[in-house]
């Protein structure tokens, strides 16, 4: 299907490795997910499409290894929640990392926002998800992206416009869309 619809899509995703759920730690489930991620990575390379990776926490390093082995050139680790060493390895590989609404209220995500280079950062909402902080009790919606970008701008001591401009340029480069 991806091959048939290639001209109407701009990425392969969301694909990745399980972390949450009762069976996420099951070796057979994880092994099957790794095989599937490798397949998606090879398809993304063959079709010259980026991957949108969901591999939080310790799974990020495993996913990074798989996509590097497949020679994926464009990817974003969305809803990224991994350690600093893995984060730096992702950045060194030339991939992007996205920040979710948690950047507005969670120290771990705020540290990540300060660490990411402007040319490797994206922002997202990723719903449905029950966020806390200023987003508590709200349904996740794309309009929240402005609040995410504003929180990042505050943390980086810059303007909303600068964050909006750089993350828009990054998204265009990653997905090869727009002008």
Cα-trace Rg, the chain: 16
Length of the chain counted residue by residue = 179
CA 120 to chain centre: 10
Predicted model pTM: 0.94
pLDDT, one tens digit per residue, over 94-119 is 999 999 999 999 999 999 999 999 99
Average pLDDT score over residue span 137-156: 95
Tell me the C-alpha distance between 124 and 148, whole Å.
Answer: 7
pLDDT at site 179: 66
pLDDT, one tens digit per residue, over 119-146 is 999 999 988 888 999 999 998 999 899 9
Tell me the C-alpha distance between 100 and 152, whole Å.
Answer: 10
Q: Is the pLDDT of residue 11 over 70?
A: yes
DSSP class of residue 103?
A: G
Tell me the C-alpha distance between 60 and 86, whole Å.
Answer: 7
Are residues 147 and 104 in contact, defined by beta-carbon separation less than 8 angstroms? yes
Q: Kindly report the average pLDDT of the chain as a whole number.
A: 94
Q: Is the pLDDT of residue 77 over 90?
A: yes
């Amino acid at each position: 299907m991806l091959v048939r619809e290639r001209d109407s899509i701009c990425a392969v995703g969301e694909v990745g490795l399980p972390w949450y759920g009762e069976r996420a730690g099951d070796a057979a489930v994880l092994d099957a997910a790794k095989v599937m991620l490798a397949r998606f990575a090879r398809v993304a390379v063959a079709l010259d499409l980026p991957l949108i990776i969901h591999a939080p926490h310790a799974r990020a390093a495993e996913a990074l290894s798989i996509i590097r082995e497949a020679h994926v050139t464009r990817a974003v680790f969305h809803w990224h929640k991994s350690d600093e060493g893995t984060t730096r390895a992702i950045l060194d590989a030339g991939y992007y990392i996205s920040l979710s609404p948690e950047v507005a209220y969670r120290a771990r995500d705020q540290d990540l926002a300060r660490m990411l280079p402007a040319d490797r950062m994206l922002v997202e909402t990723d719903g449905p998800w029950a966020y806390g902080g200023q987003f508590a009790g709200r349904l996740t919606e794309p309009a929240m992206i402005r609040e995410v970008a504003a929180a990042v701008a505050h943390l980086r001591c810059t303007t909303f416009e600068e964050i909006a401009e750089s993350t828009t340029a990054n998204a265009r480069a990653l997905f090869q869309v727009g002008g």
